[in-house]
Structure 1
Amino acid sequence: MQQFFTNTLPKNTLKLANKLQNSQPTFLNNFYLTAGTALSLLLGHRESEDLDFFTQDKFEPQKLQQELETFGTLTDLELADGTLNTFIDGVKISSKVDTACTKLQTIGVRGSKKDFIDLYFLLKEFSLEQLFDFLGEKYPKINYNQIHILKSLTYFEDANEQPIPKMHIEISWEKVKKNIVEQVKEFSFIS
């Protein structure tokens, strides 16, 4: 059975996650927890405050909104086709493999310091080659620009200006960057 590092979540986030899990709402059957919070629960490396859920299935954001309202007060609601962003009682709602795919995509657009730190810890378990394989398996109909993502993995200018998130496992920002650059070089050499 998988061990979860629940100490990485603030009390209100953990309370909402438990509430959602214990009630087992059918509207979340095809959704899964992803991104930094899922990774924090699995690795225990840093704190994370939000709950990011994802599905590959089409869903009606308005219907999901109605279902979520049964769990608490929704604020800062943003609805779009196939997207719902909100806070439930102050908690933002939005497998390691799924999270790894999300991290590659996110860094490919604009990586934050916490995204790079998450990737650093993922690269302790998976190679970049595996991560790109996961991405291709997860989204077979999407053609990702691998070269662009690789370049983004070594672009730290924006992230350099950001604070390090509250960590549960100490790591230096310089070590994170150095390790990722080495992994990209190794991957580029293999490819």
Structure 2
Amino acid sequence: MLYKETVTKDMWELLQRLMKDKMLKDFILVGGTALALKLGHRLSVDIDLFTTRDFDSSALIHHLQKEYEATNEIVFENTIMTYINDIKVDLLAHKYPVIAMDKISENIRMISNDDIGAMKLHAIFQSGERLKDFVDMYFLLEEKPLQSYLNSYQIKYNGNPYLSARSLIYFDGIRKEYDVSMVHGKEHKWKRMQERLKKAVLNPNLKFGNSAEKKVVLKNKGKGVRR
């Protein structure tokens, strides 16, 4: 079951169209939207589609303009950043090994949580600016201990797991203008999230239980992370 309430109706419909598009058959949904659909922890507003193969950026953006009226395009080799119906859509060639694919659910091809955890650790290690990456790691720790994601990070990026773990508790680089809208009933206090991340780094094999009920109940607007 996917938590479709974590995305807007327009975004869900666009995602369905993109997944059925033969030009995009090698692309899979990754990142926070994939995780939100699976865990139901926060709202997500953009679509990240990755492939491990090279693709013709010029041909693909022409297709997106024609079929989806894509606008505000930024196009590089193996990279497209655009908007479709005011929804941010990024398509990238991410040439790192895929640890596992999730079973296709409701026509959505998604990468595994092991991959997402590795990618979140990689993003935090590289910049550590986005609050949502830390929030996502907090909830990923309800699924598996940190050590599991560190192992995946090492496999996927051949990175140093010790340095990656340390970056998980460096909070000074988070940009304050970034906010995260949480699903009602889910943990939203940043201090508690920090405490869990610190405990996980001190003991990477530590297992955490769910912070709240699995049932998803949305208000008209998600509650932001309180800092």
TM-score (norm 2): 0.73
Contact 1:71 1:88 in 2 (8 A): no
* Aligned match for 2:24, one of 21, 28, 31: 28
Matched, 1:118 2:136: yes
* Runs of 4+ with deviation above 3 angstroms: none
1:14 maps to which residue? 12
Higher mean C-alpha displacement, 109-118 vs 69-78: 69-78
- Number of aligned residue pairs: 182
2:191 aligned partner, one-letter code: E
SS of 2:181's partner is coil
Contact 1:46 1:166 in 2 (8 A): yes
CA distance in 2, matches of 1:156, 1:8: 26
1:135 maps to which residue? 153
Matched, 1:83 2:72: no
Q: 1:187 to 1:89 in 2, by over 3 A?
A: same
Deviation, structure 1 residue 186: 0.7
1:57 maps to which residue? 53
* Aligned match for 1:175, one of 188, 192, 195: 192
Contact 1:113 1:162 in 2 (8 A): no
Deviation, structure 1 residue 171: 2.6
TM-score (norm 1): 0.86
Identify, as 1 or 2, the structure richer in helix: 1
Gaps of 5+ in 2: 91-111, 207-227
Contact 2:146 2:205 in 1 (8 A): no
Q: 1:158 to 1:166 in 2, by over 3 A?
A: same
Contact 1:30 1:55 in 2 (8 A): yes
Gaps of 5+ in 1: none
Per-residue CA shift, 1:94-121, capped at 9, x if unaligned? 2322222221111111222111111000
CA-based RMSD of the aligned residues comes to 2.0
Deviation, structure 1 residue 128: 1.7
1:102 maps to which residue? 119
SS of 2:204's partner is helix
Deviation, structure 1 residue 164: 4.2
2:181 maps to which residue? 166
